[in-house]
Amino acid sequence: MAPSRNILPLLLLATLLCTQAKPDDKVQASRDKVSKALQDDEAAWADYVAEFGAGSVMNLVAGPQTKDLPEPARAAAYKNNFKAALREMDKLNKQAEKDGDDVAFGINSHAHLSAEEFAALRATGVRTAAKRRAPRRAGAESAAAASPAAEAAEAAALTSGGRKLQQTCSTSSGQVAYTLGSTVAPAAVNWVSNGFVTPIRNQGQCGSCVAFATTVLTEFALMKRNSIYNNANTDLSEDDLMECEPTLSGCNGAGLNTYVSSVSCRGQSTEATAPYNYADSNYCPAGDTRAAERGAMKTTLNFQWAAVPRSNADLMRAVATAPTQIGVKADGYAFQYYTTGIVGCSVEGKRAVSNHAVTVVGYGVSGGKPYFLVKNSWGTGWGEAGFFRVQKDCILSSKAPYGPFAMFASSPIVPVL
């Protein structure tokens, strides 16, 4: 018997709801990959090493506990971590499915690290003034104490072209008042597809995330102010920020506003002049080609920035004008194993601790769910080829007081052009 006309609308509605509830193909594929890997974790580990280790676990990102181990011992530790990770991924995926979140947690370039190693390696880049360690030059001075010649050489370098010449920048240099409260933002913005975001980079084993997040802002400002620059020929130097900012933070992390104020104060050189070297340095060149480039870029950028109120609406308005730097809570399984999709409102959002800096580069709607698009600095083997999405317009409640990954635990920062 054919269904009555009264039943047909209900059947159509049920069909539509089922269609909307079905995970995105990429999400489902990532979940299925984990399920398959659990059936033969030895084969899955071999595939993982082939994909992310270039045939050798020595080429995988090394955690603090394993980086100095010989390869066989490191391989054994990584394999155990990986097998345990598969079970955690499966739990996260089942919870996401239960919650109706269209997101997948799965095998990415960080699946071989223990939770502790991941937190120590990746969730250390954002520092408050109280938690920032003593200037890293202190170690060099202690080592040089037994060598007067070395001590004199370092002092001469610092005086005639090093850090002491850069100690005049204020942490509020370039800061202006936030004035976007009444701005009406468009329905969707994507600075990546609009050509104002450069390719994904990898900060490596260095807590330099704030330098990378800030550079997204300065590169955007450069491209917006000067039509000769685009996402193919623009590449400003994170290393220059790390070497020349006054607080000597380097790979130990920095405050969210450390480098935006530094760029406003003294400019930023290019990657070609100061390539990223994944390490600390005690020397900031002055009086040379690189210093001249910084000075010229300071004038070209005329960089100013504002702290954004911690709300969905204000972040949306800020991102509508420019990529916006934020701090997130990154030391959790959900962040470590994220592969694709939109992270739901309640995930990893309970603790008010920002320990990693990233940049929101757009927002939109997918499958009826609004999201923020965020650029990370861990290479293309993590997330959606280096990016991730989190649900927008979350209700900040006692269950999730700071939104996904504690995005609103600190004030975002937007360049003002």
Strand segments, DSSP code E, in 215-302 are none
Give the active site residue among 265, 284, 312, 356: 356
- pLDDT band at 22; cut points 50, 70, 90: low
376 is catalytic: yes
Q: What is the pLDDT of residues 77-125, one digit of tens each?
A: 999 999 999 999 999 999 999 999 999 999 999 999 999 999 999 988 8
Q: What is the structure's pLDDT at 288?
A: 79
- What average pLDDT does range 177-187 have in this prediction? 93
Which of 12-21, 250-259, 319-328, 352-361 is predicted most confidently?
319-328
Least confident of 5-14, 77-86, 153-162, 172-181: 5-14
Least confident of 59-73, 151-165, 273-287, 300-314: 151-165
Q: Where are the domains of the chain?
A: 28-102, 138-178+207-218+236-306
The mean predicted confidence, pLDDT, of the chain is: 85
Q: What is the structure's pLDDT at 135?
A: 35
257 is catalytic: no
Q: Which residues contact 386 (CB under 8 A, 6 or more apart)?
A: 200, 375, 376, 377, 378, 379, 380
Alpha helices in 106-235 (DSSP H): 115-122, 137-144, 148-159, 209-225
Give the active site residue among 112, 251, 376, 394: 376
Per-residue pLDDT for 5 more than 50? no
209 is catalytic: yes
Per-residue pLDDT for 128 more than 80? no
Give the active site residue among 209, 244, 265, 284: 209
As a whole number of angstroms, the distance between CA 284 and CA 161 comes to 7
CB 327 within 8 A of CB 310: no
